[in-house]
Amino acid sequence: MRIAVCLKQVVTRESPVRLDRAGSWIDEAQAGWELNEPDAYALEAALRLREQHGGEVVAVSAGPARVTQVLREALARGADRAIHVAGDHLAGADSNTTSQALAAALRDDTADLVLTGLQSDDQGAGQVGVMLAEWLGAPHASIVMAIEVSGTTLRVKRELENGWSQWLTLPLPAVLTIQSGINQLRYATLKGIMGAKKKDIRTVPASSGAPSQRIVRLFVPERAKKTEMIGGTPAEAAAELVRALRDRARVIEGR
């Protein structure tokens, strides 16, 4: 079984967010980068399926040259090889553009199963996996919590609302978006890191799909302190304080 895992590189959670001069994206020169955490769960799911059924795991990432960092990390964790879908225009690209670029690369390197994380930690649209399935003409299931493979058929468990779940049967090839927490993540060993240097990263040019949306302006949340004086008698002040904590701050409940 050949399993392709789509990975995204996102800004580290510890990095201070600074905007570029246009104010439409982050200042990438001032940012640190890491593997998107939901995609790490998709990678782990792929590695476990390979251990159970054999085959290979191919890590795929679309973006500028810096995304090879997460591809090397995937190789160090156990992926067999990697594909870099190269294109500077994919930095901060929308889901439509990214999914088209990934689909074009995966048509030339066909896989029995394609996995993505549920969403990205930066834009959080949760649409790349869904659109990718459409571009590839493959069946799709989202928010997947468990995967069972039997021949050319998949049985997957999807998470629904209010603690409910759903089992689906899909034919292969298929595309799945994996729920975070589906498994316990493994990390790269020293042996894996050394071995990753010998594994292949194939670079293919990204298709130039037209974006369906454009970020016009970003704003860093402003933190402001505000002091409000509560007057009246002690009983009136206490009643007003309770109302403020309940109705505006929403830190207490009750009437």
Mean pLDDT of 226-250: 86
Name residues whose C-beta falls within 8 Å of residue 161's C-beta, 6 or more positions apart in sequence: none
Query: Within this chain, do residues 118 and 68 fall inside the same structural domain, yes or no?
Result: yes
Query: Within this chain, do residues 200 and 229 fall inside the same structural domain, yes or no?
Result: no
Nearest-CA neighbor of 37 among 61, 63, 10?
Answer: 10
Q: Would you state the pLDDT for residue 69? A: 94
CATH number of 118's domain = 3.40.50.620
Query: Within this chain, do residues 37 and 154 fall inside the same structural domain, yes or no?
Result: yes
CB 68 within 8 A of CB 84: yes
Q: What percentage of the chain carries pLDDT values higher than 70?
A: 98
3-state SS of the chain is CEEEEEECEEECCCCCCCECCCCCCECHHHCCEEECHHHHHHHHHHHHHHHHHCCEEEEEEEECHHHHHHHHHHHHHCCCEEEEEECHHHCCCCHHHHHHHHHHHHHHCCCCEEEEECCCCCCCCCCHHHHHHHHHCCCEEEEEEEEEEECCEEEEEEECHHHCEEEEEEECCEEEEECCCCCCCCCCCHHHHHHHCCCCEEEEECCCCCCCCCCCCCCCCCCCCCCCCCCCCHHHHHHHHHHHHHHHCCCCCCC
Which tokens belong to 250?
């929403």
Query: Within this chain, do residues 173 and 249 fall inside the same structural domain, yes or no?
Result: no
**Containing domain of residue 54, as a range?**
2-205
Pairwise CA distance, residues 26 & 49, whole Å: 36
140: in domain: yes
Query: Within this chain, do residues 28 and 130 fall inside the same structural domain, yes or no?
Result: yes
Query: Within this chain, do residues 116 and 233 fall inside the same structural domain, yes or no?
Result: no
Q: Would you state the pLDDT for residue 201? A: 94
128: in domain: yes
Tens of pLDDT along 87-96? Answer: 888 887 888 8
Q: Would you state the pLDDT for residue 112? A: 94
Tens of pLDDT along 54-73? Answer: 999 999 999 999 999 999 99
Of the pLDDT bands very low, low, confident and very high (cuts 50, 70, 90), residue 51 is very high
Q: Would you state the pLDDT for residue 209? A: 64
Of the pLDDT bands very low, low, confident and very high (cuts 50, 70, 90), residue 25 is confident
Q: Would you state the pLDDT for residue 255? A: 60
Query: Within this chain, do residues 128 and 231 fall inside the same structural domain, yes or no?
Result: no
Better pLDDT: 217 or 8: 8
Query: Within this chain, do residues 192 and 78 fall inside the same structural domain, yes or no?
Result: yes
Q: For residue 142, count other CB atoms closer than 10 A to its CB.
A: 20
Whether residue 38 is predicted with pLDDT greater than 80 in this model: the reply is yes
193: in domain: yes
92: in domain: yes
Query: Within this chain, do residues 239 and 162 fall inside the same structural domain, yes or no?
Result: no
Q: How many domains does the structure of the chain reveal?
A: 2
99: in domain: yes
Pairwise CA distance, residues 243 & 255, whole Å: 9
Query: Within this chain, do residues 244 and 118 fall inside the same structural domain, yes or no?
Result: no
Q: Would you state the pLDDT for residue 124? A: 83
115: in domain: yes
24: in domain: yes
Tens of pLDDT along 168-202? Answer: 999 999 999 999 998 999 888 899 999 998 998 99
Of the pLDDT bands very low, low, confident and very high (cuts 50, 70, 90), residue 122 is confident
Pairwise CA distance, residues 171 & 159, whole Å: 20
Mean pLDDT of 37-47: 95
Query: Within this chain, do residues 248 and 138 fall inside the same structural domain, yes or no?
Result: no
Q: Tell me what the pLDDT averaged over the chain comes to.
A: 89
Whether residue 12 is predicted with pLDDT greater than 70 in this model: the reply is yes
Q: Considering the entire predicted model, what is its pTM?
A: 0.81
Better pLDDT: 59 or 244: 59
Q: Would you state the pLDDT for residue 254? A: 66
Nearest-CA neighbor of 4 among 45, 38, 36, 34?
Answer: 45
Whether residue 110 is predicted with pLDDT greater than 80 in this model: the reply is yes
210: in domain: no
φ, ψ (nearest 5 deg) of residue 168: -125, 150
CB 50 within 8 A of CB 59: no
Of the pLDDT bands very low, low, confident and very high (cuts 50, 70, 90), residue 216 is confident
CB 155 within 8 A of CB 143: no
Question: CA torsion angle for 47, 51, 55, 60 (degrees, to 10)?
Answer: 0
Query: Within this chain, do residues 255 and 166 fall inside the same structural domain, yes or no?
Result: no
Q: Would you state the pLDDT for residue 231? A: 87
Mean pLDDT of 82-101: 90
